[in-house]
Amino acid sequence: MKTPPALQSLIERFRAEFQLKKLIPDTRVYVTRDLTMGKERYPITVENDVGDGAVLDEDFEYASTVLDLDVFRCRIDFSLACCCVDNCQSHCPCVSRCVYDSSGRLTDKVREMAERQELGVVLECNASCFCSSQCPSRVAQSGVRSHLEVYRSRRYGWAVRSTVPIQKGEFISEYTGELISGEEADKREDDTYLFEIVDDAASYCIDAKRRGNVSRFINHSCEANLMVVRVVWDANVRHFPHICFFAKKNISRGEELTIDYGKQWWDVKLMKFLCQCGSKRCKYGEEARAKLLQENCT
């Protein structure tokens, strides 16, 4: 079978890049060649070319999934399962609710709804469904698909970028860590890596301080190129939405990946330090701090 011209061109380009890499010595300074210890599809390197000697915390443990999820577990809800035998390619209910296109990216309509915070919770197929892992409604649950790397930034400390271009709507990663109650979160000294999840009855937090994945290294920007989408894929944990990061726009190779931490996070941190994102639309600078001080005094 003859290879399509477009695919052949792509193969030749990658072959040329591979040969070039063999000729040019790698001068990057690696803290580790694989942060994930084999837990993700692709290795995630950690580099420090800044020369400040910074390394990762010795007690940090990479976790590809949310830990201690038992607090949410309940009886399996089979109403969330599908009976599709063709990987949801037919006119089954899964197809009508699927938010992904044929390439596994959020559709433009869904992405725009997510940006306006009108999307709600996305339902993916789950372990109780008849479809296989190749089902188009199983995206976020499949883990990190992009080639990511953690690097040292002179301005922000650790940061994350992709070694390949990313298209808008593409899944990046889930925010993983230790699942704790709101009460336990209040007791912890360092709240830097806490991500709050509000349930109908109570609030919970994911703490990625000691155990987490590549998402814990993603910095804030007031003009972030990633957005948060809540996704459910556990038939027995239907009340727990996984916190997933998707691309808001096309992202160039080597461009830093950023997320908006939100007003609630900055209301706590703004008195300690200012936002350093450098955006012309920065929302958490001196003016925001002065306004917060005034509100606290009234």
Give the pLDDT confidence score for residue 128 in this predicted structure: 78
- Fill in the amino acid letter for 292: L
Q: How far apart are CA 211 and CA 207, in angstroms?
A: 8
Query: Considering only CA atoms, which of 256, 254, 244, 285 is closest in space to residue 105?
Result: 244
- pLDDT band of 1, cuts 50, 70, 90: low
Query: How buried is 93 (Cβ within 10 angstroms: 0-12 exposed, 13-18 middle, 19+ buried)?
Result: exposed
Residue 62, token pair as written in the block: 């990479």
Residue 234, token pair as written in the block: 């556990």
Q: How far apart are CA 233 and CA 241, in angstroms?
A: 8
Non-local (6+) Cβ contacts of 72 within 8 A are 179, 237, 239, 240
Measured in degrees and rounded to the nearest 5, phi and psi for residue 159 equal -150, 170
pLDDT above 70: percentage of residues in the chain: 79
Q: According to the per-residue pLDDT averaged within each range, which of 53-57, 233-237, 245-249, 294-298 is highest? A: 245-249
- State pLDDT tens for residues 29-86: 899 999 999 999 999 999 999 989 899 998 999 999 998 766 555 544 545 567 676 6
| CA-angle at 9, arms to 15 and 246, nearest 5° | 85
Residue 99, token pair as written in the block: 């938010």
Residue where the block lists tokens 């009886």: 75
Give ranges for CATH 2.170.270.10 in the chain.
28-261
- pLDDT band of 181, cuts 50, 70, 90: confident
Q: How far apart are CA 39 and CA 16, in angstroms?
A: 30
* CA 55 to chain CA centroid, nearest Å: 22
Fold classified for 28-261 = Beta-clip-like (2.170.270)
Give the pLDDT confidence score for residue 114 in this predicted structure: 93
- pLDDT band of 202, cuts 50, 70, 90: low
Measured in degrees and rounded to the nearest 5, phi and psi for residue 217 equal -95, 0
- State pLDDT tens for residues 79-137: 556 767 666 666 666 655 678 998 999 999 999 999 998 988 888 888 878 888 888 88
**pLDDT score of 6 more than 80:** no
Using CA atoms of 138, 140, 146, 151 in order, give the dihedral in degrees to the nearest 10: -170
**pLDDT score of 229 more than 90:** yes
Question: pLDDT: is 13 or 251 the higher one?
Answer: 251
